[in-house]
Amino acid sequence: MTVTAQHIRDTLSRYLDRYPEDEGALSALTGSLADTPDTITSRKEFRGHATAGALLLRPDRHVLLIEHKALGTWLFPGGHLEDTDDTLIGAALRELGEETGIPAGSVTPAGPVPLHVDVHPIPANPAKGEAAHRHYDFRYVFRTETADVTALQAEEVTGCAWQPADTVAEPLRSRLAVAAAHSHSR
């Protein structure tokens, strides 16, 4: 089963209930859900499509970044939805494992609502036959006590690093601080 447009709508609704200040920034996503609900999960939908990302947080308040080969930049682990994904959080967990080798059993989801939904442009990639488009990236927090990168996905990732969460850009910085404080108080 694949992630449905209804699942994305429901997730977005729960997210906006928690972070109503993000509604304006997500107007492109809302528009895509209205205009292209049948293709919002397809990587071939070049008006924009949903993706899922993982914000892996350690007790020392560091978050994992990967160096993305095609884009040549540091990002959080994540990527496109697959036909076998049935939830966005499941897709984020799968991508974390694929890109870093970190097993699902060594991380714990912080909750069912994304910490952030990011809309960002992706440049055209003629080698893959992809036009410039947007990613609607649903980013979930996962916590770990023991996870370590064991195997980078060589075709997509060239490096990894743990970065202090307080160096991440807003609004993620303050949201990660709350997530870290919540996990520390457990």
Q: Tokens at residue 178, please?
A: 């709350």
Please tell me the CATH code under which domain 5-184 is placed. 3.90.79.10
pLDDT at 72: 78
Tell me the domain boundaries of the chain: 5-184
- State the burial class of residue 5 (Cβ atoms within 10 Å of its Cβ: 0-12, 13-18, 19+): middle
Euclidean distance between CA atoms 174 and 50, whole angstroms: 24
Helix (H, G, I), strand (E, B) or coil at 170: coil
Euclidean distance between CA atoms 53 and 75, whole angstroms: 9
- DSSP3 helix / strand / coil % (the chain, rounded to 5): 35, 30, 40
Contact predicate 38/45, CB 8 Å: no
Can you tell me which residue has the tokens 């694949």?
2
Per-residue pLDDT of the chain (186 residues; tens, 9 = 90+): 689 999 999 999 999 999 999 999 999 999 999 999 999 999 999 999 999 999 999 999 999 998 987 777 889 999 999 999 999 999 999 999 999 989 899 999 999 999 999 999 998 989 888 899 999 999 999 999 876 776 777 777 778 889 999 999 989 999 999 888 876 444
pTM of full prediction above 0.85 = yes
